[in-house]
Amino acid sequence: MAEFQAVAKTGDIPEGEGRAFAVSGRMVAVFLKDGHYHAINDSCPHMGASLATGWVEDDQVTCPWHAWRFCITDGTWLDNPQSELKSDCYEVRVVEDEIQVLVPGRPEPDASASDE
């Protein structure tokens, strides 16, 4: 079962920037924008650049490699919002001075899929 995991302390992520953290076997980009934290996959769906290092403006991050833009609140690919391509997004909360992210774990292997 997925649980919130602490990734950083408040103050570790400057306003208007992102930072990448390893959570449940994947890299998650956490952004602070207008006092609110948001989390999406750090790996750009195009070619895997770190979105945490992208340019943040309004509710979007621009990938540092080829400038594709993603919404930091819901992962939508803003250059083509009708596309099914998007970034996963995750719930974020602050408990005291901890920034915590809820990331589903990797799926369990299907026990019914044995070779027999």
Which residues contribute to the site for ligand FES (CB under 6 A)? 44, 46-49, 63, 65-66, 68
Nearest to ligand FES of 40, 99 (CB atom)? 40
H-helix segments, the chain: none
Rounded to the nearest whole angstrom, what is the least distance from the CB of residue 44 to ligand FES in the complex?
3
- In the complex with ligand FES, the residue whose CB is nearer, 62 or 73, is 62
Q: How far is the CB of 23 from ligand FES (least distance, A)?
A: 20
Q: How far is the CB of 28 from ligand FES (least distance, A)?
A: 16
CB nearer to ligand FES: give 36 or 66. 66
Compare residues 22 and 47 and give the one whose CB is closer to ligand FES: 47
Q: How far is the CB of 67 from ligand FES (least distance, A)?
A: 6
C-alpha distances in Å from residue 31, one per residue of 14, 107, 111: 8, 26, 37
Q: In which residue are the tokens 């408990």 written?
A: 95
Neighbouring C-beta atoms of residue 41, cutoff 10 Å: 21
* Cα(3)–Cα(59) distance, integer angstroms: 26
Closest by CA position to 71, among listed 93, 82, 86, 91: 86
Q: What is the distance in angstroms between the CA of the first residue and the CA of the last residue of the chain?
A: 28
